[in-house]
């Protein structure tokens, strides 16, 4: 698996236990978030050839996510039997297999992929790490409420569980994994995919960003151009999800598609495809964007938007509770699995 260039160190991991079903570590540390949600707390071409295999079942941060600096199992089979004669006896003995056939090694989701710039399936040692050891090494881990779980998994045995804690005593409004890739040739096209299972939500009229996919920061702040998925609750449970295209550098409010077909208590597959281009004589640069849900061949969103460039300097995604709009009611419990990112 290729490792892409990263601009700076990430935040180190420490131990965490989530809900009795968590197997292993979570993360200590927090981001240097220095702003607010690009939506002000609640504002809301051709795609790449898809090189990722689907996972089998069917996420802008309000601060600057600092970057850091993106791998195969041997086939096993039966051994051939020897073809000689035995010594010491008066005749030849029938040959027998030297070794019994070996079981084929079971591959993780990421080991079945090729042509990707990043993959994380949470099924390898140090799956929540910023310091190597897994197929996907995260640029940044934010918050202490991240852990590995076997309670739900799109590809067994593990998934990422983001379990936010409720109440004002816990001031964090973000708990997320962040991956930031800065290829030297820039980014003209990108495909970002993952699986999400919304398990628990605050019983209040609240929301937050479950993922974002960003391509521009400025001296005025981070998350200046990209795409987000918002999730929303009401007093009885999960309410809906939406897609938001944030573009503060171009002026105006976010473009919002609501609702989109993401449901609670089930695995949902999400695929975002972007392709930047320069349209000579057409008034400037643009981006073609498609959102595919649950492996449908028909995009839930298929649109062209003005863009601030024809090639982005980086691609960055974050997932988890990227930003909870309500600082008190934020007891979200969301599982994620099988993140992939492919760039051109």
What is the CATH number for 284? 2.60.120.200
Number of domains in the chain: 1
With respect to residue 12, please indicate whether it lies within any of the assigned structural domains: no
For 216-244, what is the mean pLDDT?
Answer: 95
pLDDT of 3 > 80? The answer is: no
Looking at residue 69, its pLDDT comes to 43
For the ranges 73-77, 100-104, 182-186, 207-211, which has the lowest average pLDDT?
73-77
With respect to residue 191, please indicate whether it lies within any of the assigned structural domains: yes
With respect to residue 221, please indicate whether it lies within any of the assigned structural domains: yes
Mean pLDDT of the chain: 77
With respect to residue 155, please indicate whether it lies within any of the assigned structural domains: yes
With respect to residue 263, please indicate whether it lies within any of the assigned structural domains: yes
pLDDT higher for 68 or 319? 319
Looking at residue 41, its pLDDT comes to 38
pLDDT of 72 > 60? The answer is: no
pLDDT of 291 > 70? The answer is: yes
For the ranges 57-61, 103-107, 208-212, 292-296, which has the lowest average pLDDT?
57-61
CA 223 centroid distance within chain? 17
With respect to residue 11, please indicate whether it lies within any of the assigned structural domains: no
With respect to residue 144, please indicate whether it lies within any of the assigned structural domains: yes
Find the domain containing 282 and state its range. 22-70+101-343
With respect to residue 210, please indicate whether it lies within any of the assigned structural domains: yes
């Amino acid at each position: 698996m290729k490792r892409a260039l990263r601009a700076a160190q990430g935040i180190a991991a420490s131990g965490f236990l989530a809900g009795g079903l968590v197997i292993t570590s979570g993360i200590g540390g927090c981001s240097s978030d220095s702003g607010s949600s690009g939506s002000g707390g609640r504002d809301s071409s051709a795609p790449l050839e898809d090189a990722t295999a689907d996972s089998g079942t069917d996420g802008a941060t309000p601060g600057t996510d600092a970057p850091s600096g993106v791998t195969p199992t041997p086939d096993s089979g039966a051994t051939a039997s020897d073809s000689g004669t035995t010594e010491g006896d008066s005749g030849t003995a029938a040959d027998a297999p030297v070794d019994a056939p070996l079981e084929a090694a079971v591959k993780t989701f990421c080991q079945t992929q090729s042509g990707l710039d990043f993959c994380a399936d949470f099924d390898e040692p140090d799956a929540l790490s910023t310091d190597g050891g897994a197929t996907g090494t995260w640029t940044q881990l934010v918050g202490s409420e991240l852990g590995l779980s076997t309670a739900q998994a799109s590809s067994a045995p593990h998934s990422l569980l983001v379990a936010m804690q409720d109440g004002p005593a816990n001031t964090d409004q973000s708990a997320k994994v962040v991956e930031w890739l800065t290829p030297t040739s820039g980014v003209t096209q990108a495909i970002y995919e993952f699986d999400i299972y919304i398990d628990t939500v605050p019983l209040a009229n609240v929301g937050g960003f479950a993922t974002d996919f960003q391509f521009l920061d400025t001296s005025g702040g981070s998350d200046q151009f990209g795409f987000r998925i918002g999730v929303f609750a009401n007093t009885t449970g999960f309410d809906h999800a939406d897609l938001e295209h944030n573009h503060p550098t171009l002026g105006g409010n976010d473009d919002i598609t609501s609702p989109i077909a993401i449901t609670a208590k089930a695995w949902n597959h999400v695929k975002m495809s972007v392709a930047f281009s320069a349209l000579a004589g057409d008034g400037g640069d643009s981006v073609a964007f498609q959102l595919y849900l649950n492996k449908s061949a028909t995009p839930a969103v298929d649109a062209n938007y003005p863009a601030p460039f024809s090639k982005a300097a980086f691609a960055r995604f974050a997932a988890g509770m990227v930003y909870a709009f309500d600082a008190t009611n934020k007891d979200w419990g969301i599982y994620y699995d099988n993140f992939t990112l492919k760039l051109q």
